[in-house]
Structure 1
């Protein structure tokens, strides 16, 4: 693992008037590491994810990202064009609802190819070939390359969204409840796929989930949030097997016995 973090969050806060969405948030993400942010609905975890991914303005604090050239600027110091380029190339964002992360009325191949064009690929044959490879990698038949996502099942749409995000070989992926809307059997397939791809590509991932089983399966480190604040963080196995904060203990105790 690299000796320097790829993302560093310090004293982050987001307020909605007098209401605090999240506050006093500090943590690092290292290259190749998966960090899970867990907590009940309203704990501030999605607000935090949106702030660190640049989808929402923060009220205070810094979010620094290590660029490919070694610079480590605060995202707020980047130009709008630089942030858009990062979002299309170096980063990915996997939504809970795949329709939020796909263009539903263009083909599966075009959804994947669009990201390739954002990094300068212009050769139609190369784009189509790479798109085909990625569809097969996420277990979508190559014969479906010209089908639109509206014709796909929920699980297929989520796998297509994953392919669209990973085709540019990003360095950091944000995931917001990526299996939240799927049937249990479909969830298992998508989770297995995510775990395999994250390991193969050495991705850094920040994943928001309310499901502690998802966090255990995918993440090395866990951040537990309650009422907009971090109440506990540490190695995932340690947090789940030996929770120290009463709220974490309550969360762990609520997991049904298998």
Structure 2
């Protein structure tokens, strides 16, 4: 099912009543929210809250048990993602969407060069000129603070922070409109986290990206997002503007999360 809509008339992504169960266990239940063009939405909660299950459902990596997820395609139609064929879904994931994994090795081809990791995404949108692909890859490595002379090195030779920055370049080179991020700073040293977060914030702003980011770190959510969704036991228990939720949390669970943030 699809309907014509002006590109700026509504949300980019619309999630309605999404439930995912694993037998008797609930991953997430009756989750609804929208993501608007240029908006960064953080989904927060403790381990087991359902936030990663939700992210995998809305990015089509996991089929929900019930509910609908609709996306505003570039041609101006709002499509139910369940109606997409496999080829359409794969094309969307390679071009209009990005997915930044917590472990960069899950989002990179570790035994091909850094340049090839970026170039593969360009080839997915039809680029075939080797010189142009290499030049664009070099430019993007520079944008994510990786030296041009590392273009032929494999990611296995990179540090954790460099791998994550390469994964970001690989995702953003096709100028997607929506990027999903799953704990993108998890497992990195504090100084490396700070540098990566600054880079993400800059690129998101420059490119006008919409982002859905899953994190357990409320400081990350405050830095990157305009709006926050708090999950507990698979359900949304609080949502609103990020500063409002963090400065004036209404739900007791959110208050507990906020109280656990170390004093800076």
TM-score by length of 1: 0.99
> Which runs of structure 2 are paired with 1:62-81 in the superposition (5 Å)?
62-81=68-87
User: Match of 2:120?
Assistant: 114
Compute the displacement of 1:45 (Å). 0.1
1:44 aligns with 2:38: no
**1:247 alignment partner, one of 233, 244, 253:** 253
Normalised by the size of structure 2, how large is the TM-score?
0.97
Checking the alignment, whether the CA contact within 8 Å between 1:20 and 1:228 is kept in structure 2 is yes
- Runs of 5+ unmatched residues, structure 2: 1-6
Contact 1:35 1:219 in 2 (8 A): yes
Question: Which SS does the other structure have where 1:230 is aligned?
Answer: strand
Q: Which residue of 2 aligns with 1:212?
A: 218
Q: 2:26 aligns with which of 20, 44, 51?
A: 20
Instruction: Output one character per residue of 1:209-242: Cα deviation in whole Å (capped at 9) or x when no partner.
Output: 0000000000000000000000000000000000
Tell me the alpha carbon deviations over residues 127-174 of structure 1, each in whole angstroms, 9 at most, x when there is no partner: 000000000000000000000000000000000000000000000000
Distance 1:199 1:4 in 2: 20
Give 1:3 shift: 3.6
Contact 1:21–1:228 (8 Å) recurs in 2: yes
Aligned residues: 258
Query: SS in structure 2 opposite 1:232?
Result: strand
Alignment of 1:52-201 (within 5 A): 52-201=58-207
Tell me the secondary structure at the aligned position of residue 176 of structure 2: coil
Gaps of 5+ in 1: none
CA contact (8 A) 1:2 1:30 kept: no
Which residue pairs with 1:33 in the alignment? 39
| C-alpha distance in 1 between matches for 2:247 and 2:81 | 35
